[in-house]
Structure 1
Amino acid sequence: MTDAALNRRMMQRDRASASLGLVVERDDPGYAVVSMVVREDMTNGFDITHGGFVFALADTAFAIACNEDHFVTVAAGADISFLKSTVAGQTLTATAVRRTRSGRTGIYDVTVVDEQGDAVAEFRGRSISTNRSF
């Protein structure tokens, strides 16, 4: 089974991402693009996109990018910087790129942009591969 097929299997079982309406635009080893339309129920008390949903979008792109082989790879940690607020109706796109992978660990950067291409958030994820196979 190819890496992309493994990731498709992972995403078919990802109920959280499905409930958010995330769409996988691209799935390559070490690289992924995922988009999301911000819904009203994803906004906070200031009528802007809740940071948790921006994080979830970036985290999903990270998960796809870092699952590059048949071993289950999970987050060891992640940080996010919020750069611009967005509102309901906007489309956000997260692009994840592998920076380095050595042994069982890796570092991946994810940029989240709005439909104009303006940076909304920068996310850095640290991965660790388990001994468990897909």
Structure 2
Amino acid sequence: MTDAATAAPINREMMQRDRAAASLGLVVERDDPGHAVVSMRVREDMTNGFAITHGGFVFALADTAFAIACNEDETVTVAAGADITFLKSTTAGQTLTATAVRRTRSGRTGIYDVTVVDEHGEPVAEFRGRSISTNRTF
């Protein structure tokens, strides 16, 4: 594992190249090894036919926090899989915040939990990501 001084520049470099996150307006609030916080304001174009936030955007927010948390050193780490449970719907104008926390990391694999909450701190979704480190470096 690495320290925050090493992980932050790596994650900042990764996020500077992340066009998907930029197009969604994601804001990185925290990028420590094994821990990340990312927020997103829900726009009208992020809602579905029921005028609620499309689940794909909630997943993208959680997945981005997961990506930051699991890239703890110079080794490129990606998702091996992820699951999400939606708990509450949200609408345009709300701000969602995803907090990712490392549960375990052993060898090339890891498990990270991400909680997504609304601006009132009420749970919106729970996400569990499984990571795998590649042979590539930043």
Q: Same fold (TM over 0.5)?
A: yes
Q: CA deviation at 1:43?
A: 0.0
| 1:4 Cα offset (Å) | 5.8
Q: 1:53-106: CA deviations, max 9, x gaps?
A: 000000000000000010000000000000000000000000000000000000
Per the TM alignment, residue 117 of structure 1 is displaced from its structure 2 partner at its CA by 0.3
CA RMSD of aligned residues (A): 1.6
Q: Is the 8 A contact 2:109 2:132 kept in 1?
A: yes
CA offset at residue 109 of structure 1? Answer: 0.1
- CA shift for structure 1 position 110: 0.1
Moved over 2 A (4+): 1-5
Q: Deviations over 1:23-76 (max 9, x none)?
A: 000000000000000000000000000000000000000000000010000000
**Equivalent pairs: percent with the same residue?**
90
**How many corresponding residue pairs?**
133
- 1:3 deviates by 6.7
Tell me: CA distance 1:59–1:3, structure 2 relative to 1, closer, same or farther (3 Å): farther
Match of 2:84 among 80, 86, 91: 80
The gaps in structure 2 that reach 5 residues or longer are 6-10
1:123 is displaced (CA, Å) by 0.0
TM-score computed with the length of structure 1 as normaliser: 0.96
Helix, strand or coil for the counterpart of 2:51? coil
